[in-house]
Chains A and B, each alone.
Chain A
Amino acid sequence: MKNFILIFMGANYSDLGFSPKEMQERLGNWGDWTKRLSEKGIYKGGDGLTEAIRRVEGADKVVIDRTSAELKEVIGGYILITAKDFDEATEIAKDYPDFDLPGGAVEVREIMDYSA
Chain B
Amino acid sequence: MKEDSQPLVDHLFRHHYGKMVSTLTRIFGLNNLGLIEDAVQDTFVKALMHWQNGIPPNPEGWLTAAAKNRAIDLFRKIKSDHSRAEKVSLEYSENTIEQLFLDYQIEDSQLRMIFTACHPVLNPKDQIAFALKTIAGFSDKEIAVALLLKLETVKKRLSRARKTIKEQGIAFAIPNKEEMIPRLDQVHNVLYLIFNEGFHSTQSALVLRKELCGEAMRLCSLILKKQYLRTGKGYALFGLFCFHAARLDTKLSSDQSLIDLKNQDRTQWDKSLIDLGNEAMHKAMDFEELSIFHLEAAIATEHVKASSFETTNWEKIKNIHEIIHQYFPSDFSILNQAIVFLQLDQPKDCLALLKQIKPENLEKRAYLFYGLYAEYYLYIGDEKQAIASLNLALSNVSNEAEKAYLEKKRANLLNQ
Task: Give me the interface of A with B, judged by CB distance under 8 Å.
Answer: 13-14, 17-24, 26-28, 30-31, 34-35, 37-38, 43, 45-50, 77
Contacts and interface: CB of A to CB of B under 8 A. Distances in A.
B44 A23 contact: yes
Contacts of A21: 11, 13-14, 137-139, 142
Interface in B36-65: 41-42, 44-45, 47-55
A23 B13 CA distance: 8
B16 A27 contact: no
Interface residues of B, number: 29
A21 B53 CA distance: 19
Nearest to B41: A14
Contact of A77 (B3, B7, B52, B138): B52
Contact of B48 (A26, A38, A43, A49): A26
Interface in B1-27: 1, 3, 5, 7-8, 11-14, 16-17
A11 to B, nearest CB: 12
B33 to A, nearest CB: 15
B236 to A, nearest CB: 30
A23 B48 contact: yes
B11, B45, B54 — most chain A CB neighbours (10 Å): B45
A50 B12 CA distance: 23
Nearest to B42: A14
B364 interface: no
A37 B3 CA distance: 12
Interface string B310-340: 0000000000000000000000000000000
Nearest to B143: A19
Interface string B351-364: 00000000000000
Interface of A (DSSP majority class): helix
A49 B53 CA distance: 12
Contacts of A46: 52-53
Given A20-B17, A24-B8, A28-B7, A14 B52 contact: no
B110 to A, nearest CB: 15
A78 B117 CA distance: 43
Interface of B: 1, 3, 5, 7-8, 11-14, 16-17, 41-42, 44-45, 47-55, 137-139, 141-142
B259 to A, nearest CB: 27
Nearest to A17: B139
10 contacts: A14-B42, A18-B44, A19-B141, A19-B142, A21-B14, A22-B139, A24-B11, A27-B48, A31-B1, A46-B53
B52 A50 contact: no
Nearest to B139: A19
B230 to A, nearest CB: 30
Contacts of A18: 44, 139
Contacts of A28: 7-8
A34 B42 contact: no
Nearest to A45: B53
A38 B49 contact: no
Contact of B49 (A17, A34, A35, A48): A48
Contacts of B42: 14
A107 B271 CA distance: 52
A27 B51 contact: yes
A23 B45 contact: yes
B102 to A, nearest CB: 22
Nearest to B20: A20
A45 B54 CA distance: 11
A34 B1 CA distance: 7
Most buried by B among A21, A31, A49: A21
B44 to A, nearest CB: 5
Nearest to B17: A20
Which 6 A-B pairs rank lowest in CB-CB distance, beginning with the nearest?
A19-B139, A20-B13, A48-B49, A24-B13, A20-B17, A14-B45
Given A14-B42, A31-B7, A20 B137 contact: yes
Contact of A13 (B45, B138, B139): B45
B53 A47 contact: yes
Contacts of B141: 19
Given A14-B42, A21-B14, A43-B1, A27 B50 contact: no
* Most central of B17, B41, B51, B52 by chain A CB within 10 Å: B52
B142 A27 contact: no
Given A19-B139, A20-B17, A21-B137, A31 B45 contact: no
A60 B50 CA distance: 35
B50 A48 contact: yes
A65 B305 CA distance: 68
A38 to B, nearest CB: 5
Contacts of A77: 49, 52
A93 to B, nearest CB: 15
B404 to A, nearest CB: 27
A22 B141 CA distance: 11
Nearest to B15: A20
